[in-house]
Structure 1
Amino acid sequence: MAEIRVFAGGLTMMRAAAEYVVSVAEAAMSTRGHFSIALSGGATPKALYELLATDEFTRYIDWSFVRVFWGDERCVAPDHYDSNYRMAKDTLLEYVRIPVGNIYRIRGEYDPQTAADEYEKSLRSYFLRGTRPLSERQPRFDLVLLGIGEDGHTASLFPGTEALNEEVRWVSANYVEQLDTWRVTLTPSALNAAANVLFLVTGAKKAE
């Protein structure tokens, strides 16, 4: 069931978000021995990552059992200023003990469709391993972090774009006409399959 929580300040919200991430991670690890999370880009998640990287929170998560994914990526190199991967690396991943093999980044430096195909292949390899029932053969992340833009977009699912109507693929190369750019994004069905989704929303214009 969806729950909406409103906070008076950004720091209070981030602490609550960090505590929620820890609680989901602990539950997943105690049940299955690992925790899968899809990260988001943007200024709001950045503050959360910086908090999760502090000693106060790193002591609660054994990052060697964490698998890190992304909900979307800009079509840029991994060291580009606009890269969602770079932002997460610079604010969180460099400060925790996570094996390189546990990081599943979107290859934003590739052609958009190739990047989408490669990422979907990685997701299917991870989530369809073993003998899981057919009903569970979907990218069931333990937690997906998302934001909401002033135009209502989340991940890189912008209003009016083709990826919104994708029902088969888990990952789409999505052309965003209003920005004249390509993005690689998880599809609605992939996001909806997650066990938990946390939206981080700040700003007066989004309050309603």
Structure 2
Amino acid sequence: MTTDIRAATLETLPDSEAVALRMADLLVEGILAKTDGPFRVALSGGSTPKRLFEILATPSRAKQIPWERVEIFYGDERHVPEGHADSNHTVGQSVLLSRVPVPAQNVHAIPTGGTAEEDAKAYEKTLQAAYGAMTLDPQRPLFDLVMLGLGTDGHTASLFPGQPVLKERTAWVGTAAPSTAPYERITLTYPAIQSSALVVFLVTGASKVEMLERLVEGDSSIPSARVTSEGRIIILADRAAVGEYP
């Protein structure tokens, strides 16, 4: 049964460090529990995920994970040249992936060498190859875990307000050209995010108070609140982001 944001579990944690540590626990638990095939995770960008990557790269954490059974994907990417400092994959590679024994063939960066539209189609083919089908089956999620953030404008991944990609119901990957943020973007669509066993939002900082409240209440006028999952949705928020919310 499809889960929408109003059925999400909100976990309030003391600070952003606690959010990153809790996310690390969820990730390790999920990987160890998945024994019938690879664990497919879609990573997100931002300061809290970067701290998560640092935690996972520490020897004590890294040795807990059977990296050969983990497949790495990304929820979105800025359409910038390979190795660009603002690339989510550049951060993931430098902080985590280069420091743990994950096989190179298990890391699937979003391509950025063509046009955004061409690269989005290429990444969709990558996802379809990993999934083994061109059509998503609600009983067999594409992702075991999708990590998402929450923007102060209510966006998540690169699903920004007013972008045509919000209406996409068929393609797994789309593009966005937000007027409020730099760079053209490539992003997972709602159907691809929905094909997940677990979606986890990481929300930290006082600037997110208003949007977190709207997210939890299911305000469909913001893109993040339209996220659904074939499994569970968890929101990990620090006290600063929760504010006075009950």
TM-score for both structures, normalised by structure 1: 0.92
Contact 1:14 1:48 in 2 (8 A): yes
Instruction: State how far apart, in whole Å, the 2-side matches of 1:36 and 1:115 are.
Output: 20
Given candidates 141, 144, 159, the residue that maps to 1:142 is 144
Aligned match of 1:67 in 47, 64, 71?
Answer: 71
Corresponding residue for residue 3 of structure 1 = 9
Relative contact order higher in (CA < 8 Å, ≥ 6 apart) = 2
What's 2:49 paired with?
45
> CA separation of 1:171/1:138 partners in 2, compared to 1, >3 Å: closer, same or farther?
farther
Residues 134-162 of structure 1: per-residue CA shift (max 9 Å, x gap):
73587620001110011010000001101
- Structure 2 residue identity aligned to 1:206: K
Q: CA deviation at 1:109?
A: 3.2
Aligned-pair identity in percent equals 40
State how far apart, in whole Å, the 1-side matches of 2:141 and 2:118 are. 19
Give the match's secondary structure for 2:11.
coil
Which stretches in structure 2 are left out of the alignment for 5+ residues?
Answer: 1-6, 214-246
Q: Which residue in the other structure is 1:96 paired with?
A: 100
- Within the candidate set 109, 113, 116, 2:113 is matched to 109
Q: Cα distance 1:138–1:163, how it changes in 2: closer, same or farther (>3 A)?
A: farther
Q: Work out which of the residue numbers 183, 200, 203 in structure 1 matches 2:202.
A: 200
The count of residues paired between Structure 1 and Structure 2 equals: 204
Q: TM-score, normalised by structure 2?
A: 0.78
Structure 2: how far apart are the matches of 1:110 and 1:93?
Answer: 24
Contact 2:177 2:184 in 1 (8 A): yes
Where structure 1 has 5 or more consecutive residues not aligned to the other structure, the ranges are none
Aligned mates of 2:32, 2:86 — CA distance in 1: 31
Q: Tell me the secondary structure at the aligned position of residue 77 of structure 1.
A: coil
Give RMSD over aligned pairs: 1.9
CA contact 1:138–1:190 (8 Å) conserved in 2: no
1:24 partnered with 2:26? no
Partner of 1:185: 187
Q: Are the structure 2 counterparts of residues 75 and 137 from structure 1 closer, same or farther at C-alpha, using a change threshold of 3 Å?
A: farther
Change in 2 beyond 3 A, CA 1:2/1:86: same
Q: Give the Cα–Cα distance (whole angstroms) in 1 for the partners of residues 144 and 129 of structure 2.
A: 16
Q: Is the 8 A contact 2:171 2:189 kept in 1?
A: yes
